[in-house]
Amino acid sequence: MKNNKHRVTSVISLSLGLLILSSCTNGLQVKRPEGTNEMTSSQATMGEGTTQTLTLTETQTATETATQAESQPNTQGVTQPVTEPATSPETKPETKPETKPATKPATKPATKPATKPATKPATKPATKPATKPATKPEATKPAETKPSTKPVSDSGKYMDVSNERNEWSYGYPTSWVNDYRGYWKFQTGNIYLTMDLGYEPGYTDRILDTLKEKGVKVTFFVTTEYITSNEARVKRMLAEGHKVGNHSTKHINMVKLTQTDVQDLIDNTKKWEKAYKDATGKTSHLYRAPEGVFSKRGMSVLKDMGYDNIFWGAAYADYDENNQPSIETAREKLYKYLDSGDVVLLHPFKTNTEFLPIFIDEMRAKGYKFALVP
């Protein structure tokens, strides 16, 4: 493009030069050499016109040459304009497509990753209360009674009694259980130690050895299966002065056994009585509700069968064989709720096997005596 511009400029300069030269020639008087004949007037005019004609022809030729040069195609075969455009394409910035980069959302997602909840659940799990009531209702028990020999009849009458499920809370005991011969504490100054056994975990003999050494008597609540599988241990319990109570046949709570017909509870209880008498020749009037679950309907049946329902005034989470607490945890949890006259519930697992002699010594140091549930 630059070469074409220079070529056009040179042609224009040449044309202007010829025009200037022609003008200068027309204004000069030409001297003739001596001996030359003068031209006639018509010849002079003709010569003058010829000169001008030649000059104009040369100028036109130059101009045409410049025009042809301007219109000649460049090496790329594209005709170049005479003058540059007002705005050169090379200088005009290239317009980028209007695509915005991905931006972060203005606000955080509505849901957060699964972490801890911002607030505590509206309902607390069924656990022991954090603090102990100032006083517990006093529960007095009448003189020891024996199981009734009178069979329970007309089981349909119990269906009008509420079978609403209740779970025992020794921190806030249910006072109406006294009306159905239900107890969780007895004489002030005593501690009534009890242990529940649904199966043999392998620690009962060591516990019996400790109790014998310390001179402490315990009430063991056992299932029908435990009696039939551990007859020798049950006999040893009785021989060493302990008591044995009914803990149902298969550790089924009484609410399930009285849902449609109380006969299931009656049959379950009688099956235990037979197994116990066959093994030991004895009977028992003590009943421990499996899972600590009970109802007025179930307790009505057991009361009529001559049983005392023994709950508890102190316990702690010692029942998971695979997640046993430390001795320090046992002391901290159990002592928080322990009160004079309480029935204490323990399970014969690893921690209590080690904790039992410590517990006995510390309770005696506080002035408590150990007694059997009457």
pLDDT of residue 172: 87
- Contact between 218 and 197 under an 8 Å Cβ cutoff? The reply is no
Residues 210, 348 within the same domain: yes
Residues 216, 329 within the same domain: yes
Residues 244, 362 within the same domain: yes
Residues 15, 162 within the same domain: no
Mean pLDDT throughout 257-282? 97
Say if 93 falls within a structural domain: no
Residue, of 30 and 307, whose pLDDT is higher: 307
Query: Which among 6, 154, 196, 251 is annotated as catalytic?
Result: 196
Mean pLDDT throughout 336-359? 96
Residues 159, 61 within the same domain: no
Q: Which residues contact 209 (CB under 8 A, 6 or more apart)?
A: none
Residues 60, 181 within the same domain: no
Q: What is the CATH number of the domain that holds 340?
A: 3.20.20.370
User: How many angstroms from the chain centroid is the CA of residue 270?
Assistant: 47
Does residue 205 have an active-site annotation?
Answer: no
Above 70 in pLDDT, residue 335?
Answer: yes
Say if 18 falls within a structural domain: yes
Say if 216 falls within a structural domain: yes
Above 60 in pLDDT, residue 143?
Answer: no
Q: How many separate domains does the chain show?
A: 2
Say if 282 falls within a structural domain: yes
Say if 134 falls within a structural domain: no
Above 80 in pLDDT, residue 217?
Answer: yes
Q: Is 259 exposed, middle or buried (0-12, 13-18, 19+ CB in 10 A)?
A: middle
Does residue 278 have an active-site annotation?
Answer: no
Query: Which among 264, 278, 347, 361 is annotated as catalytic?
Result: 347
Say if 101 falls within a structural domain: no
Above 80 in pLDDT, residue 285?
Answer: yes
Domain boundary among 65, 91, 117: 65
| pLDDT over 90 percentage in the chain | 57
Mean pLDDT throughout 290-311? 97
Say if 315 falls within a structural domain: yes
The residue to which tokens 């309902």 are assigned: 123
Say if 33 falls within a structural domain: no
* pTM summary value: 0.62
- Contact between 371 and 217 under an 8 Å Cβ cutoff? The reply is yes
pLDDT tens track for 5-16: 555 555 566 666
pLDDT of residue 22: 55
Domain boundary among 46, 65, 84: 65
- What one-letter code names the amino acid at 226? Y
pLDDT of residue 171: 85
Residues 203, 351 within the same domain: yes
pLDDT category at 25 given cuts 50, 70, 90 is very low
Above 70 in pLDDT, residue 127?
Answer: no
pLDDT of residue 298: 98
The domain in which residue 4 lies consists of 1-23+55-65
